[in-house]
Amino acid sequence: MRFRSALGVAVAVLLVAAPGATAQASTLTIVHSEQVSLGESTLTASFTDWPVRAGRSLDFTFEPTGGIEGRTGTVRAIAPSGEPTALGIVGLDGEADMELQRHPLARHAWGLDVVALPEEGLWRFEFTVHGPDGTSTGTLPIAAGPMPGPSPAVSWVVGMAPWAVVLLVLARRWLKVRRSAVLAWSG
Amino acid sequence: MVPKRQVVGAWLLLTGFGSLWLGVAWDGQWHVDVGPDTFFTAPHLMFYFGSALIGLTSLAVVLPSRGAAAGPGVRVLGFRAPVAFLVAGLGAAGHLLYGAIDLWWHTIYGFDILESTPSHLSLQLAMQVQAIAVVMAFAALRHTTSGKWGLAAAGAFGVAAGSIMLDGDVFGVSLTVLGGSAVAAWTLCAIAGVTRSAWWVAALGLLFVAVHAATFFFPPLATGLYSEGIGQPLRDNALGVPLVALAMPLVFPLIAVVGAVSVVFARRRDVSPPVVMAALGAVIGLFVVVSQYLFDEVGTSPLLAALVITAFGAIAGRFGWQSAALMRRLTPREA
């Protein structure tokens, strides 16, 4: 009986969860685009959130006129402090010059998926694109506004407070029982 | 006798933790190799299933536990809760609660999973709490051989989870390596302390190899199949290498052998266990630093890292033995 009800619950959970788990993620919703001059040509940079705010992630797509077919390139993101910064999964190897690759949800264009610009201020994205008409470069300035939400200090203090309470309770109990533990080999 | 409910419960906790751990490793692989995320991805379901199984098992064990028949426990709201299941239940509840907070966090800051946030850190800590609870549940079963195998398996999962518990650097010392080696030292010395046997310390190393192998092969395989199944292609620069497995200490089986030999040696010479375990913990810290230095990075100040991580290893090893002395009381026979 118990086994049957457990099986029933398991099947119900599967029925509810399966459509979600087998569905593809939704497509991107572009809310803003900018034109970057790239030598003689242009590159369209699109954003899923605008204006960009520091610490809030969004998706970027980059599409040169004539498409990405037969072209390769890199993008270097320069933070307001002047430091080149590797961003997101694409920048996971730590290389400042991030290899441009297709966006997982917009595979006709290059892109950076769910990436946050960690610093507030004026960022510069420097593109280098190699194509049939040679190598061209272009720069896209992006202003990142102030970080949304409460300040990081407040978030960390509030978020970690329950752990501090746990630690205090454990420490108190520990001090009480510690002395009664037998520490020899034959305890 | 340990009540049957707690024996079955311990194995369910271990099953839940296995699902939680491999689900987390799969999720990491999915993000790195494929990308797009919704709440209902299969890896998310797999690790939330693990946490839910741990939580529900704890409830099923704690709620009927009343009176002396339940064995040693903590009095909470009229129940006599077996400590391991109380800890497991709180860990799972914390995990699900911080999961909800994480979801809310992402609505403000977006879904960047690489960010170091209070909710991400808390999810990792809650996972470690659950790992410790599984170790405790099997410490209570230490009088049976199957219970000791369960203990070694729980320890192996705990060491695995410890290797990704913390993130970032402080004063050029990698917190990832610091947390991982401290958990490794605590676990090994705790299992030495619970079982008082060199063989079971070696068995911890053996089962770690099994957990490491599963973490190495399962995530890339599952990611490939799932990506094909839902028609979401791999990234152009998908690495296909099991990143979570690479963070785990490859040197740990060797450490377990050293630990086993130390136990034999110390028992024969009757060296005080707290001293042996502090020394062993220090050696574990140093081993992990050196091996991570060769393979990867221990932070920008390797010498300071070696010093700090060795010291933390010593403290964790000593603490592990002391924890074990208390965990030995979780069995009714010695209560």
Dump strand ranges (E) for chain B: 74-76, 79-81, 169-170, 173-174
Question: Average pLDDT of B297-304?
Answer: 81
pLDDT for res A51: 94
Q: Taking CA atoms, what residue in B is nearest to A103?
A: B235
Instruction: Map tokens 């130390």 to a residue.
Output: B262
**A61 near A111, Cβ under 8 Å?**
yes
Question: Other CB atoms closer than 10 Å to residue A29's CB: what's the count?
Answer: 8
Q: Is A43 helix (H, G, I), strand (E, B) or coil?
A: strand
Measured over the CA atoms of residue B292, residue B294, residue B298 and residue B302, the dihedral's sign is positive
pLDDT digits (tens, 9 = 90+) for A86-132: 998 888 888 889 999 999 999 999 999 989 999 999 999 999 999 98
Do residues B112 and A114 lie in contact, with contact meaning Cβ atoms separated by under 8 Å? yes
Buried b (16+ CB within 10 A) or exposed e, B136-166: bbbbbbbeeeebbbbbbbbbbbbbbbbbbbb
Cβ within 8 Å of residue B243, ≥6 positions away:
B28, B29, B32
Question: pLDDT-based confidence at B266, cuts 50/70/90?
Answer: very high
Of A24, A92, A105, the CB nearest to B230: A24
Contacts of B168 in chain A (CB under 8 A): none
Q: What is the pLDDT of residues B145-186, one digit of tens each?
A: 999 999 999 999 999 999 999 988 888 889 999 999 999 999
How many angstroms separate the CA atoms of B12 and B27, rounded? 22
pLDDT tens-place string over residues B74-130: 877 778 889 999 999 999 999 999 999 988 888 888 877 777 889 999 999 999 999
The model's confidence at residue B68, banded by pLDDT at 50, 70 and 90, is low
Least confident of A3-17, A141-155, B254-268, B277-291: A3-17
Residue contact B109–A92, C-beta within 8 A: no
Kindly indicate the confidence band of residue A144, based on its pLDDT and cuts at 50, 70 and 90. very high
Tokens of B227: 């990506």
Task: Tell how far CA B84 is from the center of its chain.
Answer: 14
**Any bridge partners for residue A72, and if so which?**
A130
Count interface pairs A-B at CB distance under 8 A: 116
Q: Report CA-CA distances (Å) from B21 to B24, B73, B93, B114, B311.
A: 5, 27, 16, 18, 28
Tell me, what's the pLDDT at A6? 65
Say whether B40 and A23 touch across the interface (CB within 8 A): yes
Question: How many percent of chain A have pLDDT more than 90?
Answer: 58
Question: A15: pLDDT confidence band, cut at 50, 70 and 90?
Answer: low
pLDDT in tens, B196-219: 999 999 999 999 999 999 999 999
Residues A125, A46: Cα–Cα separation, whole Å: 13
From residue B62, give the alpha-carbon distance in Å to each of B141, B197, B320.
17, 31, 26
Chain B residues near residue A90 by CB distance under 8 angstroms: 237
Q: Note the pLDDT tens digit of each residue in A151-160.
A: 889 999 999 9
- From chain B, pick out residues whose CB is under 8 angstroms from the CB of A24: 36, 230-232
Residue type at B327 in one-letter notation = M
Residue A7 CA from chain centroid, whole number: 38
The string of DSSP codes covering A71-121 is -EEEEEEEPTTS-B---TTTTTT--SEEEP-EETTEEEEEEEEEE---SSE
A interface with B, Cβ–Cβ below 8 Å: 17, 20-26, 49, 55-58, 88-90, 92, 99, 101-102, 104-105, 107, 113-116, 148-149, 155-156, 158-160, 162-163, 177-178, 181-185, 187
Residue A67's Cβ-side half-sphere holds a number of Cα atoms within 13 Å equal to 5
Q: Does A28 have pLDDT greater than 80? A: yes
Chain-chain contact of B109 with A21 (C-beta, under 8 angstroms):
no
Higher pLDDT pick, A9 / B227:
B227
pLDDT greater at residue A5 or residue B250: B250
Res B103: pLDDT: 86
**Nearest chain A Cα distance for residue B156, angstroms:** 23
Residue B323 distance to chain A (closest CA, Å): 9
Residue A48 predicted with pLDDT over 80: yes
Q: Which position has the higher pLDDT, B109 or B275?
A: B275
Predicted pLDDT of residue B312: 97
Is the confidence at residue B61, as pLDDT, over 70? yes
pLDDT value, residue A25: 63
Spell out a b/e string for B292-304, using b for 16 or more CB atoms within 10 Å of the CB, else e. Answer: bbeeeebbeebee
Task: Please give the share of chain B, as a percent, with pLDDT higher than 90.
Answer: 69
d(CA B306, CA A60): 41
Q: Which residues of B touch A158 (CB under 8 A)?
A: 118
Q: What ipTM was predicted for this assembly?
A: 0.84
Per the CB < 8 A criterion, the answer to whether A75 and A126 are in contact is yes
DSSP string, B104-159: HHHHHH---TTS--HHHHHHHHHHHHHHHHHHHHHHTTTTSHHHHHHHHHHHHHHH
Q: Tell me what pLDDT residue B334 has.
A: 45
Nearest Cα neighbor of A139 from A78, A49, A58, A54 is: A78
* pTM check: above 0.80: yes
Rounded to 5 degrees, φ, ψ at B233 are: -65, 160
Supply the DSSP symbol for A53.
Answer: B
Query: In chain A, which residues have their Cβ closer than 8 Å to the Cβ of B110?
Result: 49, 56-58, 114, 116
A126 burial class (0-12, 13-18, 19+ CB within 10 angstroms)? Answer: middle
Looking at residue B22, its pLDDT comes to 97
Which residue in the set B108, B118, B235 is minimally distant from A148, CB to CB?
B108
In chain A, what residues touch B328 (CB-CB under 8 Å)?
Answer: 187
Rounded CA separation B74/A121 (Å): 54
Q: Closest chain A residue to B35 measured between Cα atoms?
A: A104
The CA-CA-CA angle for residues B293, B297, B299, to 5°, reads: 110
Quick one: pLDDT band at residue A37, thresholds 50, 70, 90?
A: very high
CA-nearest residue to B270 within chain A is A185
How many angstroms separate the CA atoms of A143 and B247, rounded? 36
Question: Chain B: nearest CA to A5, how far in angstroms?
Answer: 15
Q: Is the pLDDT of residue A20 over 70?
A: no
Residue B268, classified by CB atoms within 10 Å of its CB into exposed (0-12), middle (13-18) or buried (19+), is exposed
